[in-house]
Structure 1
């Protein structure tokens, strides 16, 4: 952490527990075969990419998903299946953010969408009584509001430029390797968080 003044966090798999297989199974139970072929952390089809960059609306996404699902599938069933991957916020990770904020500028940079954003903030409010992740960061950046997504360089450049951050004084933490590699190419010190490790391990005092 020597020289680090700013930390940019990914959300899913770093702060928020997620399990993409739950959404895959939920859509498959609705009648969509091979959901994983269309969506994964490493690869997203055009529809999911457009949702995560704000090029299609929530309703357009739901309607397009319904068009490949059996007749009679409701909007809410699509939304519930899409949100199934969102799990919980371990309290120790939220406490870590609170502690780090005393010493560093903290930012959130997440590939997400309007449907998930509503849901993960509801989870936070239900579990911890906090209405928004904004409470833990100096600023939050969500791909569907930015119009770009990781690993596009523009995503990090927006965070750096808007906040006057120097890459060499900035740490980025993500659980997806292409995102980490893209950040490193910009000169940002980056950590690839790999299971079963958690973000807590990064900040454990060295023995």
Structure 2
């Protein structure tokens, strides 16, 4: 283990840490279904207030779908909105789940993810179809999802809430996330935070656990 003093909890982001995420491909795919004049809206989609509010659970799935239709000026069905939205999600490599289960033998493991109801339901379907697992709670001791907490990374409040629920202190936690802003925010609170810049990072970092 690399410079991890007395770590009790290993906490993982989902996107690009546990499950592959395809942002550029999804943006390109959505553009094939949107008028060229609205392509700039696709590029800004993830920064919209309604998207951020959905990740915090401040609007319902029905409201999110209505906002998507209005934003892109379409009459897409609910199923098609979900299809486009879930095209972001890739595979969950079995070796990552095996690593989590290895850690779980001696440590507590958890998830802290900015996500939403549509994506979580799709992740559960991937887990069931490809790994015979029903949900994240079957794999992790603690599951912290932004839309259930009304908070999102990198807001320090979400990390403090996690620590309170874990009943621990920051230095007892190691956190893996693919985004620099989320890693920086965690570090500022004293959490051991590692940026996952490629799929091998978690394996190299945890190779001696």
TM-score band, normalised by shorter chain: over 0.9
User: Offset of 1:133 from its aligned partner?
Assistant: 1.2
Question: Is residue 98 from structure 1 mapped to residue 101 from structure 2 by the alignment?
Answer: yes
Seen in structure 2, the aligned counterparts of structure 1 residues 71 and 190 have a Cα distance that, compared at 3 Å, is: closer
Question: Is residue 8 from structure 1 mapped to residue 14 from structure 2 by the alignment?
Answer: no
Q: Which residue of 2 aligns with 1:52?
A: 55
**What 5-or-longer segments of structure 2 have no aligned partner?**
none
CA-atom RMSD in angstroms: 1.5
Provide the C-alpha distance between the structure 2 equivalents of 1:68 and 1:37, rounded to a whole number of angstroms: 11
- Structure 2 SS opposite 1:67: helix
Provide the C-alpha distance between the structure 1 equivalents of 2:173 and 2:74, rounded to a whole number of angstroms: 49
Q: Which residue of 1 aligns with 2:43?
A: 36
Q: Which residue of 1 aligns with 2:187?
A: 184
Q: Which residue of 2 aligns with 1:202?
A: 205
Structure 1: 4+ residue segments shifted above 6 A:
none
Map 1:55-66; keep pairs closer than 5 Å.
55-66=58-69
Report the TM-score, using the length of structure 1 for normalisation: 0.92
User: Offset of 1:198 from its aligned partner?
Assistant: 3.7
Report the TM-score, using the length of structure 2 for normalisation: 0.91
Q: Which residue of 1 aligns with 2:168?
A: 165
Provide the C-alpha distance between the structure 2 equivalents of 1:68 and 1:154, rounded to a whole number of angstroms: 30
Provide the C-alpha distance between the structure 2 equivalents of 1:29 and 1:54, rounded to a whole number of angstroms: 28
User: Offset of 1:37 from its aligned partner?
Assistant: 2.2
User: Offset of 1:72 from its aligned partner?
Assistant: 3.7
Q: How many residues align?
A: 202
Q: Is the 8 A contact 1:176 1:192 kept in 2?
A: yes
